[in-house]
Structure 1
């Protein structure tokens, strides 16, 4: 299995890759720039190229995560333009680093707009970005957390948006286990049913990444609070066992976004490898 975690680029892109190697991780995730800003970054292309070469040499997979302010359902034209420029910048950095793509949250529903208009806004944003993007790095749509029925929490929504996009081949999926648990999509006991549905509608054929997170709260409470995989979370080890051992996931990166205060990512990766490696 390919276990990894989110790593800071404080020491550069190559530095992040070397940190993953030191942790015996087979994958890592990083923010391509300041995680709290949409400002376009004039990144160090040599550093990115060295990161790509190092990862290829050491069989490490990397993935980028868009900054927190990124929204596929922006409230105004100014924010829309900022997000489009920022995402194109994120994709360029991911491409230079040899990363799979850029994780992007599905988007939050704008309550004053009808549901269909929210979906149309999201589609328009993806089309605007991907019509300009010619690289191989993908946008990886991530399932939302929230109460059951909240915008962006179902596999059907993700699959349908991809199908309706003008460039579906440039879109993949990121499955977050805590998000799925928070809305009841995966309640810990229905993995076989969820896997069956995901295969039938084509979701798992386009899955590129799993955010491996436990939950501090019970299922269907809409709480997006992460916990270590083995320990205090509400998702049981036996339930993770069923998910992680899915044959289709053998070569898909599992990225930890768990709280480091409770257990270091280095130690957690070691535990995962001992249990499922």
Structure 2
């Protein structure tokens, strides 16, 4: 079964997102925990969550993915910004305790010319503090494109974070197709080799979800501009291979393409038509 969804607005609550997902043919979805550019989260609505959980069970909606706001920077130079990141993540994770088997994705951050090692140490410090709270939600580090001073521009940087975290039982990775392509990983011409590198450096058991995004830029551009599926430099054939790859096909896939609901519905339908492709091209 293809587990596929898209990014939905959380402004109307979980039940509304669940109904939107079903309407467009999705069986999972991603959402921002709060305004992606900052701000406080909406008050927790337990009744809405309970109604959503019943709806999800009835309609086969599986593990959903929460996305941290873009303003969160765990390796900022300013201590106040790092504390803000910690407090925001704790608040988000405490809310997600009401959603079983949930996942929480965040961008590792930008070291702002402090150096990658310093940035990694700050991220690790935050994750170790968060682990002391005992949350059950799986936290995912997202692969980044490598623009500016982003941390997580390659598999090695993500592994350097993981290996320094004291308890990694609830720690994984979300692979973004646009980001890794822009970061120089040839998922179009050599998907097997990219997955081999990921396995050797991080371990495929850490890979918990995939953001499906085409790219407006060429391989290795170190930019981050998403494109609709099949309309960018990654191309439809590569996505057909990705969703059918034996090491990926059971993972949940989340579209973050520049679309409204109608466009997401078309992409979900298109990708479903290519699932179970009989011969995976190696």
The answer to whether the superposition gives a TM-score over 0.5 is: yes
Displacement after TM superposition at 1:40 (Å): 5.1
Contact 2:112 2:149 in 1 (8 A): no
Counterpart for residue 227 of structure 1: 227
Instruction: Decide whether the 8 Å contact of 1:32 with 1:93 is kept in 2.
Output: no
The Cα shift of 1:141 comes to 0.4
SS of the residue aligned with 2:126? helix
CA offsets, 1:153-187, max 9 Å, x none?
A: 21122123112101211211100000001111235
CA RMSD of aligned residues (A): 2.2
Aligned to 1:28: 29
Alpha-carbon distance in 2 for matches of 1:118, 1:65 = 21
C-alpha distance in 2 between matches for 1:187 and 1:251: 18
CA spacing shift, 1:40–1:7, aligned 2, 3 Å: closer
**1:74-89 mapped onto 2 (5 Å cutoff):** 74-89=76-91
Deviating more after overlay: 76-85 vs 258-267: 258-267
Residue 77 of structure 1 and its aligned partner are, at CA, apart by 2.1
List gaps (5 residues or longer) in structure 1.
none
Contact 1:139 1:171 in 2 (8 A): yes
Matching of residue 251 in structure 1 with residue 250 in structure 2: yes
Q: Does the residue aligned with 1:161 lie in a helix, a strand or coil?
A: helix
Tell me how far apart the structure 1 counterparts of residues 217 and 115 of structure 2 sit (CA, whole Å): 31
Give 1:74 shift.
2.2
Report the 3-state secondary structure (helix = DSSP H, G, I; strand = E; otherwise coil) of the residue aligned with 1:220.
Answer: coil
1:92-149 deviation digits (Å, cap 9, x = unpaired): 23232335211101211220x24322211111111122222x2321111001113599
Question: Would the aligned equivalents of 1:153 and 1:185 in 2 still touch at CA under 8 Å?
Answer: no
2:167 corresponds in structure 1 to 167
Structure 1 segments of 4 or more deviating over 6 A? none
Alignment match, 1:273: 272
1:260 equivalent in alignment to 2:241: no
CA distance in 2, matches of 1:40, 1:271: 34
Work out the CA distance in 2 between the residues paired with 1:42 and 1:114.
38
TM-score normalised according to structure 1 size? 0.91
How many angstroms does 1:65 deviate by? 0.3
Please say which of residues 149-158 and 169-178 is displaced more in the overlay.
149-158
Q: How does 1:1-16 map to 2 (within 5 A)?
A: 1-16=2-17
- How big is the shift at 1:20? 0.5
TM-score (norm 2): 0.89
Which residues of structure 2 form unaligned runs of 5+? 277-282
